[in-house]
Amino acid sequence: MFTGSLVALITPFKNEAVDEDAFLSLVEWQVNQGTHGLVPCGTTGESPTLDHHEHRRVIDMCVEAADRRIPVIAGTGSNSTDEAVALTRYARQAGADAALVVTPYYNKPTQEGLYQHFKAIHDSAELPIIIYNIPGRSGVDLSVATMARLARLPNIVGVKDATANLARPLDTRIALGPDFCQLSGEDTTVVAFLAQGGVGCISVTANVVPAQCAALHEAWRIADAPTVFRLRDQLQPLSNSLFLETNPAPVKYAVSLLGRCEDSLRLPLVPVTEATRQQVQAAMTGLGLIG
C-alpha cells in the first residue's frame, strides 16, 4: 500500500521546454527530504500541456532518478480510454510502481462508462492503478458503489480523493475495507482525511516543504497527535495560499522563490497575480523558507 506524503510533482519549464536538470534536481531533493512517493505527470505537473514525448520522458526521468528508493506513481490519465491505456502501458514498461488515472474529463460518462473506462485500462496493463476522483476538474464523480465494483479488479488498488467531501473516505472505508488505499488530494484537509480512513496524501504543498509534510505523516503513523496538530497548523497558511489561483500557478511561483525552477507555465495557465504572490511570500516567510 502507498502511504504518507506523496508529492504531486511540478514540471519545470525553461525556454518553453521541460527543464530536465531542474526536474531531476527536484526529484533528488524530494527523496533526500523524506518524501514517501513521487507522482509525476498529474494535474500539478501540467500534464494536459505535455506532448506525448514529454509525458513519457518525464515518467522516464522520475523512475530513473528515484532509482527504487521511493515509489513512483505515474500520471497516465486521459479522457480518451485508448490514450490512457497507451500511457499506462508505457508507465509499466518504464518501471513505475503504479499509475494515477483521472476520471475522464469533458466527456462526462455515466457510472457504467466510468467502470468500463477503468476496467479497460486495468485489463490492458499489469500495473496497480490509483483512481483519481476530482469532480471539480473532470465534471464527473465516481460513486462509492462504482468504486467498490472497480475494487474487485485485482489491480485497482486505491483512490486519490479530491472531492473535498470528508464523509467520502469513511463511506469508502466501510464499503471497501481498510486495505483499499485512500489518498487525499486536498492538502488543507489532510489530517481530517486521515482520521476518516485515509492513509496518505498526494500533495501539492510537498513541492515546497517536503520534510514538513513527510514529518506530519510520520507523526500520524506513530499517533503523535501534538506533532500532527502543530504541523497541520503551521502548514495551513501555505496550503491555503497555494490554491488562491488555479494549481499549479501558485506552487510554481513558490518553488521558484526557493530557486528550484523558473516561474514558467504553459498556456492557458499564466503566472499568479501580485496579490497572490504577496500571500505566498507571507506564508513562506512565516515558515522561515524565505527572508
pLDDT digits (tens, 9 = 90+) for 109-163: 999 999 999 999 999 999 999 999 999 999 999 999 999 999 999 999 999 999 9
172 within some domain: yes
pLDDT at position 1, please? 81
Count of beta carbons in the 10 Å neighbourhood of residue 139: 15
pLDDT at position 20, please? 98
Catalytic entry in 14, 108, 115, 160: 160
199 within some domain: yes
**Sign of torsion, CA 235 196 77 53?**
positive
Q: Report the percent of the chain where pLDDT is more than 90.
A: 99
CATH number of 117's domain: 3.20.20.70
Q: Mean pLDDT, the chain, as a whole number?
A: 97
For the stretch 52-76, pLDDT in tens is: 999 999 999 999 999 999 999 999 9
For the stretch 83-115, pLDDT in tens is: 999 999 999 999 999 999 999 999 999 999 999
In the chain, the DSSP E strands lie at 4-8, 13-14, 17-18, 37-39, 73-75, 98-102, 129-133, 156-161, 181-184, 200-203
28: domain range?
4-221
Contact 220, 191 (CB under 8 A): yes
Is there a catalytic annotation at residue 132?
A: yes
171 within some domain: yes
**Sign of torsion, CA 59 98 71 64?**
negative
pLDDT band at 38 (very low <50, low <70, confident <90, very high): very high
250 within some domain: no
Q: Read off the C-alpha cell for 211.
A: 520534510
* Domain total in the chain: 1
87 within some domain: yes
Catalytic entry in 90, 115, 132, 253: 132
29 within some domain: yes
116 within some domain: yes
